[in-house]
Amino acid sequence: MMRFLLLFSRQGKLRLQKWFVTIAEREKKKVIRDMTSMVLARKPRSCNFLHWRDLKIVYKRYASLYFCIGLEDQENELLGLEVLHRYVELLDQYFGSVCELDIIFNFEKAYFILDEFLMGGEIQETSKQIVARAIESSDMLQETMEEYMSKPAF
């Protein structure tokens, strides 16, 4: 099971965080600080797996963003790497070619895509097409609701 998923920039700015276990706010800040400093300090050709406390940390850099997850010790690191890659593919599919600005200005969509893909630290849906259909349905519903709300009431 995953404990957390973090997205942060090369400058160490947190862009997205998802916690799958209950942790105190103070502890979350410490984890974020530790993850950003550890991952950013590594050389570009280093292995994408780390051991930290009782967790396996898996990270991958895509463009200017680092995607990082904390896995329980018995979990498979390669599956964690695949989860990160699948999430990036889903973001790319939705935004075209996802960039840091897409995450900043459309963070609610990034969270929605993540929630369609993962729930409770486990993979909810493996099919990119099914996730894409759910996102498309949500967008259609939102557009319909906005049209309905913008009509004048007589």
Q: Mind listing the pLDDT tens digit for each residue in 139-149?
A: 889 888 888 88
Flag whether pLDDT at 154 surpasses 80: no
In this prediction the pTM is 0.86
Residue of higher predicted confidence among 82 and 120: 82
Interval 130-151 mean pLDDT: 86
User: Would you state the pLDDT for residue 90?
Assistant: 92
Q: Going by DSSP bridges, is the β-strand pair 122-123/118-119 parallel, antiparallel, or unpaired?
A: antiparallel
Percent of the chain exceeding pLDDT 90 equals 60
Instruction: Work out the pLDDT band at 124, boundaries 50, 70, 90.
Output: confident
Q: Which of 38-47, 72-81, 145-154 has the lowest mean pLDDT?
A: 145-154
What is the C-alpha to C-alpha distance for residues 88 and 98, in angstroms, rounded to an integer? 8
Nearest one of 148, 119, 145 to 2, comparing CA atoms: 119
Structural domains of the chain, ranges and CATH numbers in brackets: 2-150 (3.30.450.60)
Instruction: Work out the pLDDT band at 58, boundaries 50, 70, 90.
Output: very high
CA atoms within 13 A on the CB side of 59: 28
For residues 63, 139, 143, 16, the Cα torsion angle rounded to the nearest 10 degrees is -50
Flag whether pLDDT at 126 surpasses 90: no
User: Would you state the pLDDT for residue 117?
Assistant: 87
Q: Which of 5-9, 117-121, 130-134 has the lowest mean pLDDT?
A: 117-121
